[in-house]
């Protein structure tokens, strides 16, 4: 029996997914959660095999929750179930350790296929998601945006309202170095200023 936790902030989605999988003999939806904090609290007391995880949830989103799960509960696998088919969302999910990523318009057959693949130790990405990765991240594609871990860290700090001086102090680097990273980020995202940089990166899913 595959024990599954379903995490989504929309009650209709939770009820619909539970109903969809209710007649599958080897699947047990043990509980549902409306945010990442509820997921982590449940995992402290009860084990599950797989979490069907939405990305946009209040209090603690799916990306942050998956990152914590990989650190605190490494045996638990995560399959992202999202409406977002954008490069940033997909890359973030992969970076934090999600084992798969499928879209919410996926049919029951493919959902079950994804669950089986991940439980067997493989990864699974729906065709649309795979096409997005190939299109935007493929070698030689000028539209694909790639960032180092430090660039991503700086982008997140900028989105939290940190100044250059505060980022420099936090990362133990010179202000000149941080300014260089900022300029490079503006160029990568084709943004005129930090405000536009944050707006674009949030729209594309690079930061929450």
Q: What's the rounded mean pLDDT across residues 131-137?
A: 71
125 and 156 assigned to the same domain: no
pLDDT exceeds cutoff 90 at 127: no
What is the CATH classification number for the domain harbouring 191? 1.10.10.10
The owner of tokens 């599958």 is 24
Q: What is the pLDDT of residues 79-101, one digit of tens each?
A: 999 999 988 889 889 989 999 99
3-class state of residue 85 by DSSP = coil
Annotate 26-76 with DSSP letters as a single string: TEEEEEEESSHHHHHHHHTTS--SEEEE-S--SSS-HHHHHHHHHHH-TT-
Overall pTM > 0.75: no
Q: Which domain holds residue 33?
A: 2-137
**What is the domain count for the chain?**
2
19 and 109 assigned to the same domain: yes
Single out the residue of 32, 64, 27 nearest to residue 49, CA to CA: 27
For residue 144, is it within any domain? no
Residue 127 token pair:
């065709």
For residue 142, is it within any domain? no
127 and 25 assigned to the same domain: yes
184 and 90 assigned to the same domain: no
Where does a domain end: 137, 164, 191? 137
Q: Cα–Cα distances in Å, from 3 out to 24, 95, 121, 189? A: 12, 24, 15, 41
Tell me the pLDDT band of 144, cut-offs 50, 70 and 90. Answer: low
Counting beta carbons within 10 angstroms of the beta carbon of residue 161, is it exposed (0 to 12), middle (13 to 18) or buried (19 or more)? exposed
84 and 153 assigned to the same domain: no
101 and 10 assigned to the same domain: yes
């Amino acid at each position: 029996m595959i024990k599954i936790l379903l995490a989504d902030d929309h009650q209709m989605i939770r009820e619909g997914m539970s109903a969809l999988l209710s007649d599958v003999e080897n699947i047990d939806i043990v509980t549902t959660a409306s945010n990442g904090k509820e997921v982590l609290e449940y995992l402290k007391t009860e084990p599950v095999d797989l979490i069907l995880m939405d990305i946009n949830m209040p209090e603690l989103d799916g990306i942050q929750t998956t990152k914590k799960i990989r650190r605190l509960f490494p045996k638990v696998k995560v399959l992202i179930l999202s409406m977002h088919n954008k490069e940033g969302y997909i890359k973030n999910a992969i970076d934090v350790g999600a084992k798969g990523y499928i879209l919410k318009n996926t049919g029951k057959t493919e959902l079950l296929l994804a669950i089986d693949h991940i439980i067997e130790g493989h990864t699974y990405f729906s065709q649309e998601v795979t096409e997005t990765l190939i299109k935007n991240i493929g070698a030689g594609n000028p539209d694909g945006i790639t960032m180092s871990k430090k660039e991503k860290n700086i982008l997140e700090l900028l989105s939290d309202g940190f100044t250059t001086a505060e980022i420099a102090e936090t990362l133990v680097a010179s202000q000149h170095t941080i300014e260089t990273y900022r300029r490079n980020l503006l160029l990568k995202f084709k943004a005129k200023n930090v405000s536009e940089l944050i707006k674009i990166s949030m729209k594309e899913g690079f930061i929450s």
